[in-house]
Every structure is written in C-alpha cells, then in structure tokens.
Structure 1
Amino acid sequence: MTETERPRLPLIEICVEGIDGLLAAQAAGADRVELCASLIEGGITPSFGTVRTALELATIPFHVIVRPRGGDFLYSEAEYRSMLADVGALAELGVAGVVVGCLAADGTIDEQRMSELVKAAGSLNVTCHRAFDMTHDPTEALETLIRCKVGRVLTSGQRDTALEGADLLADLVRQAGDRIIILGCGGLDPENIGKVRRKTGLSEMHFAALKDMPSAMRYRNPGVGMGGTDLDREYRNTVTDEAMVAATIAAARL
C-alpha cells in the first residue's frame, strides 16, 4: 500500500523495534510502521542494514525514527549534523518518511533545525515525534511545526496516556484542521482506543503492542550483564504482539 491510498479510518501506525516487529505489525493489519531500535529508550535510529532489509520485506509504508540517542531532545551541533546526514541517507534509500524532533532549551520547537531537517527530507513524509509533548506551549509548538512544513505530529496530549490527554488532543485536532495531521498515541489498547478516537476525532492513531518473550538461549552465563544490573534482561526479548495489534485495530474501527 502506498501513502496515497486511503485505508479505513483511523489510519493505524505501529511503533516497532526491528524487522521482526515490522513483519508482525503488517501481518496484523497495520497501515504504517514507525521503525525504531531500542524502544527501551523510547526509540533511536535503527541501523541502515535494518532499513535496507525492511525495504525488501515491507508491504506497507514505514517511517524511520532519526534520533541519535535517548534522553532529551536538545542536541549538540555534532548530534544535529548526524541527524541531517541520516535524513539525507534515508531519503536516498527511498523510505516513506522520517520521524524527528528538536527542541530549544526553553521548551520551544527549534524552528531552524526542524525546517532544515524537513528540507533535507525532500519529498519524504516528516513526523515530529513526542518531543512535542515536552514543549511548554503546545498551541504555539503546533503553529511552529506548521511553519516548518512538518506533515504530522505524534502526541499523547502532553500526558502519559491518550486517555488522560484526550481534551488537548481534541483541541489540537481542531487547531490543526487540514494543515497538519495529529497522530494520537499513549497507552492505546483494545479497551480504550475507541473511546479516545470518539472523544478526540483523531484520523491517525499510533501504538506499540509489546510483550516480553524468554530467550531461546540454552546456555546462560549468570555472571555477566551487558548493561545495568538486570541480568535476566540478556535472556528476555521484547517483541511486537501480533494478536494485540490486530485486536486494537479492530477496536479502533468499531
């Protein structure tokens, strides 16, 4: 499916980690995927090997997050230059879109950097990720993104969940009109996604349906961890739950 074809509303985007997540999401009926690495950090840029393999296997559009690290969205000049380089390379590879976000220290959208990233993306779709939810004035931030010619903004309504942020999400949908797409997210599941959609009027919704799976490793070294103190993390994989994706999509379209 191309991005010009219109799926049933709401359009559903699934946030995934890696190729297996993409394949599970598209098998479950997703309309689009946000392709990430390291969702434990909120998502960072996946390897270009991952992107190339995704281009070979994907039957739905996918957008690639361009985020050089976890943490805040206030980037050094070197980090920002790496983001520009990644966006340019992804455009050359031919992905459907990129997902980016830069803030200034005062909690506003970094308008210059976002405009430059949009320019580097060329014809690609550009989404501002949940850096938007860390801005001090969402009304002003939305107008800034519109000036930057960003195509959509991912937001939970500046709350932990879309259900809690539903009032602001509804306000943002009205403010956006047809100038930018509001992509709603935040703890969406089969029990609440329909209520959130009815309350907000969202035409696009985004969620990650994740579950932990035990590693298939038979040998386990109890004395070594690859980071932190949670040694069991080396033998636990977080994967996209295909059945949960399908159930949540169905609930969104009742």
Structure 2
Amino acid sequence: MSITRDIATHDNAVAYGGLIDAIGGVATIVLVICGLVGIAPPMMVAIATIVFGVALLIQGGAMLSEYTQVVFPGGVRASSVEQMGGNSLALVFLVGAGGIVLGVLSLLGISAPVLSPVAVIGFGTALLLSSNAVWRLYVLRRASAQMETAVGQSQHVGAEMLASEMASGSAGIQALAGLAAIVLGILALAGNTADLTLNLVALLALGSTIVLTGSTLSATVLSFMRT
C-alpha cells in the first residue's frame, strides 16, 4: 500500500511538472507576442529566453524523474541509455541552464543581439535531439503496464490511446520546431543582428512546442496512473 501510494504521489508530481512546463510555454508565447507588437522587444526577448530556459529545465527534470520510476517485473528497471534517452535529457538540462544565463546577460545589455540567437539555436538543438523522449517514455510505460496486467492490474485503454496519439504527434512537431528554431537562429546571427524579429518568431515556435510537449507529458503520466 505504501509503495503504491508513493508511486501515485510521484506520478502526480511529474504530471504537475508537465503542467508547469506548459505554463512556461504559454508565458513565453505571451512575452514574444508583446515583443512582436513593439513592446520593448529586446527586453521581451531576454525575459522570454529566461522563462523558456526554466521551462526546459522543468521538462528535463520531470521526464528524467519519470524514466527512473519505470519498473518492470522482478524489480528490473529500464536502465539502458538508449531506452532512457539519458544523453538527450542531459543536453536539455545543460541547454536550459545555459539559456537562463544567456537570457540574464542579454537582459543586462551584454551583447543581446548575439546571445539571443545563440540561445535560440541551443534551444532548438535540445528540442530536436530530445524530440522522441516523451514517445520513448510512453513506450516504456506501456510495456510496464502490459506486464503488470498479467498480475491483475487494470488499464485505462481510452486514456492510453489518447496519450499514444499525443506522444507520437508531439515527437514530429517538436523535431520540426527545433529545426526551425536552429535555422531562424542562424539567420539572425548571419543577418541584421539589431532586428530581433527572427528571434521572437523562433521563441514563439519553441514556446508553442513546449506547451504541447508539457501537456503530452502530463497526459502520458496520468493515463498510466495506478489506482
């Protein structure tokens, strides 16, 4: 009973982590829109970069925490680096932290036209390389749930089907958004660095994507909640 309660508490925490992640994406979108309509674009870009960096850290932490809780019969955990996606999640942490630093420096006025595109390129790379992380998590949770079903635990088939569709769809969208952010960041560096429009558009795409992936992470976790 205690173990079941602990697992449920952990799943709730991860689901809330995905929700907070999505809220960070919404905040990024709002800040970007303010910048696009002409409200202090340099400041909006810097703040949006910081907010997105924090959201990326939360996403990485939530996914890593959930991966470590995937347990198979006999107490064997899915510890393979390829299965866990450890490399991509480590990159998400590093890029998130780096993005926060670059955002703070930009906010202080230190080479903002250069640091902002660099942060955008880093964010895009992290999303591109970790695009399959949520889908991989769903596959592992599904395999674990199927094994548990053999000992009499129930499944929420409808919720799992929805989570499956969301996870598979978000992987492709995240990869495309990451690639688009990288291209926009490079164009911003190569072009007129005083024009922050490309940075704002890239952050808008990144913010929209992290809203989707955060919601998908929450849906994936909730679909496998043990009762």
Q: TM-score range by the shorter chain?
A: under 0.3
TM-score under structure 2 normalisation? 0.24
* Structure with the larger RCO, 1 or 2 (CA within 8 Å, 6+ apart): 2
Larger helix share, 1 or 2? 2
TM-score under structure 1 normalisation? 0.22
Larger strand share, 1 or 2? 1
